[in-house]
Every structure is written in C-alpha cells, then in structure tokens.
Amino acid sequence: MGPPGAGKGTQAKRLARRFGMRHLSSGDILRAAGNSGSALGRSLKSYMDAGELVPDEIVVEIMAKAISDAPAAQGLLLDGFPRTVPQAEALDRQLAQLGRPVEAVLVIEVPDELLVERISGRRSCPACGKVFHVGSLPPPPDGRCDACGAELVQRSDDTEPVVRERLAAYLRQTAPVIDYYANSGRLVIRTDGSAPPDEVTERVAAALEKLASKA
Ligand code: AMP
C-alpha cells in the first residue's frame, strides 16, 4: 500500500520476481478492462481519468476473479487493492474462504510534494509499460520507448490537478485501510519510500525474508 507515486508498482514487480509471487495490480487490471471498449470499460475509464476511485462493488468483483484465477500454489502480492475499508473487508471474506489470509501489509510512505513531482513528470509506454521521468530518467529525445518503440504518453491521470485529487482520495479512503489492518492484529511493515528505489527494495525484502523464516 502507499499513495500514488510511492513506487508500489516498481517495488511490487521486483518483490514478486524475487519471492516467486503472483503480482496483481488493480490499476493495471482496471486499465486493461477500461480499454476494452465495452460500456463497463467506458465507465471505469471515466473514474480513472478523474483520479477518483472506481466504486467498490466493481473493483471487488474484478479483483475477486483475478485472485481466484491465480495459481493456488503461488503467493499473491496485491498492489493497489484494497484501497477502501469495504474492499479490505470483502478481501478478508474471500481469503478466509480460500484459507489464504493476508500475511503482511507493506506500506510505502512518501511526502506529498515529492509524490506530485514524481507523478507529474512520469512518461509511460502504453505498449510495454516502461516508465520514464522527465527529471530522473529522461525519455529518449524522439519521445519513443527505447524498449519497444511505441510513442510515450503522460497517463491521463498523471497530470498535476488529477494527482492532487488522487492524493486527497488516498488520505480520505485508503489511509484508514492501514488502521483497519493494524487494529485487527495484522503485521504492518512501513518503509520510507523517499529513499532510492534499490534501497526500498532491499529494506522491504529483508522484512519479508524475516517473515518467511518465521513461517
Ligand atoms: P494505480 O495505477 O494503482 O495508481 O490506479 C490507477 C487508478 O485505477 C486509480 O486512480 C483508481 O481510479 C483506479 N483503481 C486502482 N485500484 C483501485 C481500487 N482498489 N479501488 C478503486 N479504484 C482503483
């Protein structure tokens, strides 16, 4: 968990690879559904473009399917879900039925102003997902992805006003989910996400290794 721009996606991909877990990103799954051209897709896209959360019933249904489709033998690393207390409650009900409870909650914390700078400078490849940053990882001069050649874009929800709305939504709706887990006795691991990405990965990985060695 963590606010938009905290590096959840980057860290989740690395940790999933390192620990052999299945990475499920609700943002990626909802964006794919949003581009499907269906009426549901158009509705999903309108929430995402405005920086608002997609309604709980829709997200819970889509993520429940993704979770139950994931191979049972693999650990799951959920990225971006749950983002509200009702989503967390629905997830707990589903995981209790599957006998696979939430084992740890990773929270990446970053100050707001750094988040705005990080996200509004982001340029993404719509084809392969590679992400650049106008300041720290400049896109190639021709504006095309150096991995696959597609034209880079600024995601419609990465513009500054939408970023501020997403941060407000995080504080209002998602921060209480961390309390929900802490108050119900789950292990909550907090990390400073303003550190360089490799350092964040190593710190979180060390915490997960410790958890795995106790299991
Ligand atoms: P992300 O890529 O995680 O920043 O998600 C992009 C957008 O997808 C968010 O701004 C929301 O509109 C939507 N979204 C992703 N995950 C959720 C969720 N768990 N609940 C509601 N909306 C979500």
Question: Are residues 94 and 67 in contact, defined by beta-carbon separation less than 8 angstroms?
Answer: yes
Q: Is 155 a catalytic residue?
A: yes
- For 124, phi then psi, to 5°, come to -120, 150
Interatomic CA distance for residues 131 and 126, integer angstroms: 9
Interatomic CA distance for residues 131 and 37, integer angstroms: 24
For ligand 1, whether the C-beta of 4 sits within 6 Å is: yes
pTM for the structure as a whole: 0.87
Q: Among 45, 83, 118, 123, which one carries the catalytic annotation?
A: 83
Q: What is the pLDDT of residue 187?
A: 92
Interatomic CA distance for residues 77 and 51, integer angstroms: 23
Tell me which of 3.30.479.30, 1.10.357.10, 3.40.50.300, 3.20.20.70 is the CATH number of domain 8-23+75-84+96-214.
3.40.50.300
Query: What are the average pLDDT values for consecutive 10-residue runs of the chain, which has 215 residues?
Result: 92 94 94 89 91 93 94 89 97 93 94 92 91 93 96 91 91 96 94 94 93 79
Q: Which sequence spans correspond to the domains of the chain?
A: 8-23+75-84+96-214
Q: Which two tokens stand for residue 214?
A: 């106790």
Interatomic CA distance for residues 123 and 148, integer angstroms: 14
Q: Is 14 a catalytic residue?
A: no
Q: What is the pLDDT of residue 171?
A: 94
Q: What is the pLDDT of residue 155?
A: 87
Q: What is the pLDDT of residue 168?
A: 93
Only one residue has tokens 């696979």, namely 100
Closest CA to 186 of 117, 126, 123, 106: 106
Q: What is the pLDDT of residue 35?
A: 87
For ligand 1, whether the C-beta of 124 sits within 6 Å is: no
For ligand 1, whether the C-beta of 30 sits within 6 Å is: yes
Question: Are residues 55 and 86 in contact, defined by beta-carbon separation less than 8 angstroms?
Answer: no
Residue 112 CA to ligand 1 center (angstroms) comes to 18
Q: What is the pLDDT of residue 72?
A: 76
